């Protein structure tokens, strides 16, 4: 019985100290957030946060995809143009610019291919869903 009394007193001391820590932590957290809450209640908004700009028009997914494809096409045309000018001996075009343009074209095409693969995979996954 002596052990149970000791355990009970230890548990009560732990609970009392935990409640003291919890209440002091909660009051400190509330003190930090009090100005923000007051500002929200007054309608002033949170300090440092601006109102979002009005969105006039949200672009559609198809227009974003078309823009990305056009961008890749532009990189490929620019790379081919630089390559042709270099092969014809244009003194204003050096090999480094040709190689950089070719790499930009290659990377953008590979990225577009990955996007296409992901879209096809998502479409196939949707089509496999039971109705």
Q: Where are the domains of the chain?
A: 1-47, 61-128
Q: Which residue has the tokens 């995809």?
A: 65
Prediction pTM value: 0.52
Q: Which residue has the tokens 């075009």?
A: 93
Query: What is the arithmetic mean of pLDDT over 107-131?
Result: 93
Q: What is the pLDDT of residue 51?
A: 66
Q: What is the pLDDT of residue 129?
A: 92
Q: In which band, very low, low, confident or very high, does the pLDDT at 49 lie, cut at 50, 70 and 90?
A: low
Evaluate if residue 124 carries a pLDDT over 70. yes
Cβ-count burial of 112 within 10 angstroms (0-12 exposed, 13-18 middle, 19+ buried)?
A: middle
pLDDT tens readout for residues 56-100: 788 888 888 899 999 999 999 999 999 999 999 999 999 999 999
Residue 94: strand, helix, or coil: coil
pLDDT tens readout for residues 16-31: 777 765 565 556 655 6
Q: Note the Cα 79 to chain centre separation in Å.
A: 31
Phi (first) and psi of residue 80, to 5 degrees:
-65, -40
Evaluate if residue 103 carries a pLDDT over 60. yes
């Amino acid at each position: 019985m002596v052990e149970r009394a000791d355990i009970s007193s230890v548990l009560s001391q732990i609970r009392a100290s935990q409640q003291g820590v919890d209440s002091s932590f909660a009051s400190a957290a509330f003190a930090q957030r009090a100005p923000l809450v007051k500002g929200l209640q007054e309608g002033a908004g949170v300090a440092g946060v601006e109102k979002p700009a009005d969105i006039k028009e949200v672009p559609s997914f198809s227009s974003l995809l078309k823009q990305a494809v056009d961008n890749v096409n532009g990189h490929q045309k620019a790379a081919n143009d630089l390559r042709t000018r270099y092969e014809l001996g244009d003194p204003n075009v050096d090999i480094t610019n040709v190689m950089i343009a070719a790499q930009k074209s290659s990377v953008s095409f590979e990225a577009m291919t990955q996007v296409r693969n992901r879209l096809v995979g998502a479409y196939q996954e949707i089509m496999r869903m039971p109705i």
